[in-house]
Amino acid sequence: MFRNERKLYKGKCEATGKNIISSYSPDKKVTVYDQSYRWSDKWNAIDYGREFDFSKSFTEQFGELLQDVPTPNLYNPSSENCNYINISLGAKNCYLSYVATHSEEVYFSHWAIYSKRSLDLYRCTNCEDCYFINGGKNLYACSYSYELEDSSDCHYSVKLKGCTNCFLCDNLVNKSYCIQNQQYTKEEYLKQVEALKKEDINRLYMSLLQTTIREATTNYSGEHVYGTGNFGWKNLVFCSNLDEGEDNKYYEEWAKGLASCMDCNYGISSTRSFESLSPANGHKMLFVYFSVGWENMLYSYLCFSCKNCFGCVGLQHKQYCIFNKQYSKEEYEKLVPKIIEHMQSNGERWTFFDSSLTPYGYNETIAFEYMPLTKEEALARGYKRQDNNYDPIIPDWATLLTGDQIPTDISIVSDDILNTIFICEDSKRPFRIIKQELDFYRKHKLPLPRKHPDVRHQIRLDQRPWRSFHLKNCDKCKKEMISMFPQDYKWTVYCSSCYQQEFYS
């Protein structure tokens, strides 16, 4: 609930008056700075320091500090020409993409790492010239596919590894020129693919997604791993989509190089961290949010290159601070235990920040993607909501296209389409095509989209297994197993042993 990745708004930097794109809507009770100013030396977060008041709760006082200390409009450091992306690092020429770390020319994607020249990716690493991939690693020129690895020129396929030129295939390893898992010569393959393109390929692909045999959990190069989507791990318990590391428990979503961490989400090169969101390059981080390069940090928020700080917001290169106020080592070590004892008496100790402290509405955050709640359900739990409408106003003179009015043959589309507003056939929300996007469609002979980028993202979300684990019987050997799919899942699921024997032997 503290992580808004995809909702962006127009705003102004409260320090310079500059127009900015921000992850905070104008009604938020936070001080927002343009990120270039926010990370500069033109202001100092230590100036917002205050003494801890033992007559108030930690949550109440930390909430006041969060509102006062300026926060960056977006988080995409070391990026170039990326004014419309968020939660990314070292990106270049990307647009409306999120978690696009070290990617270039990636558009309308979510969690695209080290990828280039691609559109509509989700959970992809090292992908180039790809389109509408849901779960991919080391891919080139693939499209409309789910869970591909080390493959190229594969389309409308599911669970391929080391394949080239495959179409409407599933669960293949090291194959080429296959259609619906049948082997063809190169010439036959090209001829059959052209014929299939005249049929309802989307219907055939959706049928393939639903009927393909699934593996209970999917892990790669791991040892003693209980979870799914993990690469190169050792000793994991119920973790998802982690990349390299060992001895972690209940860790969720992209992380790399972690050891001895528990109950965290996202992160890189961190050790012995607990109940934290996006710990990076640090050691002993407890109950922290999005902080980098630090040690022995507790209950802190957006702090960088700090150590031995407690209840701090926005500090850089500091130590022995409490609520952004500087103390000596002796004063710090004497006061922190007293505050922890006070928190324990209020039931605030050993938990992440209270949900009342997030500046975002529940429906703006990725929590809503994992666990959708109605407005009534969210309010009943005491969560915030974003119900103000900040959608763009369509001018009267604009040219609108929707549904069948949108051309399907990209060869007849001129650059005039860039001045046209599309209306999503599902959500009825407006969206536009950018020049780089149009060039991509032309290069790969793809039709123009008819759905809003958020709707396309939701389609990819709906294809993935939910982040929960179940006891289920293998549909082949009947042994009980841990599975991403519940007992009543209507399609075929094999345990890892049966799956590997069936498809990789």
Report the pLDDT value the prediction gives residue 377, as an integer from 0 to 100: 96
**What's the Rg (C-alpha) of the chain?**
24
CB-CB contact of 22 with 11 (8 Å): yes
pLDDT at 63 over 90: yes
Cα gap 225→217, rounded to integer Å: 10
**Separation in Å, CA 93 to CA 39, 115, 150, 271:** 21, 12, 25, 33
Report the pLDDT value the prediction gives residue 375, as an integer from 0 to 100: 95
CA-nearest of 291, 38, 437 to 281 is 291
* 79 DSSP assignment: -
166 or 76: which leads in pLDDT: 166
Cα gap 305→292, rounded to integer Å: 6
320-361 pLDDT tens trace:
999 999 999 999 999 999 999 999 998 888 888 999 999 999
Mean pLDDT, to the nearest integer, of 440-457?
A: 95
CB-CB contact of 494 with 505 (8 Å): no
314's enclosing H/E stretch is none
Report the pLDDT value the prediction gives residue 223, as an integer from 0 to 100: 67
pLDDT at 362 over 70: yes
Mean pLDDT, to the nearest integer, of 450-473?
A: 88
Look up tokens 């992809």; give the residue: 124
pLDDT at 231 over 80: no
Q: How many CB atoms lie within 10 A of CB 389?
A: 5
504 or 340: which leads in pLDDT: 340
Report the pLDDT value the prediction gives residue 262, as an integer from 0 to 100: 80
Cα gap 493→478, rounded to integer Å: 10
CB-CB contact of 105 with 93 (8 Å): yes
**What pTM value is reported for the model?**
0.90
Percent of the chain with pLDDT over 70: 95
Report the pLDDT value the prediction gives residue 248, as an integer from 0 to 100: 78
181-226 pLDDT tens trace:
999 999 999 999 999 988 889 899 999 988 899 888 876 656 666 6
392's enclosing H/E stretch is none
> Which of 19-23, 406-410, 482-486 has the highest average model confidence (pLDDT)?
19-23
Report the pLDDT value the prediction gives residue 396, as an integer from 0 to 100: 87
Report the pLDDT value the prediction gives residue 227, as an integer from 0 to 100: 67
491 or 357: which leads in pLDDT: 357
* 352 DSSP assignment: P
478: confidence class by pLDDT, cuts 50, 70, 90: very high
153: confidence class by pLDDT, cuts 50, 70, 90: very high
CA 309 to chain centre: 28
Mean pLDDT, to the nearest integer, of 76-82?
A: 91
Q: What angle do CA 153, 168, 409 make, to 5 degrees?
A: 70
254: confidence class by pLDDT, cuts 50, 70, 90: low
CB-CB contact of 137 with 125 (8 Å): yes
Mean pLDDT, to the nearest integer, of 109-138?
A: 95
Report the pLDDT value the prediction gives residue 156, as an integer from 0 to 100: 97
CB-CB contact of 197 with 189 (8 Å): no
Look up tokens 């293998």; give the residue: 474
269-326 pLDDT tens trace:
777 777 877 777 777 778 888 767 678 888 999 888 899 999 999 999 999 999 999 9
42-52 pLDDT tens trace:
999 999 999 99
Cα gap 377→4, rounded to integer Å: 19
20's enclosing H/E stretch is strand 19-22
Q: What is the mean pLDDT of the chain?
A: 90
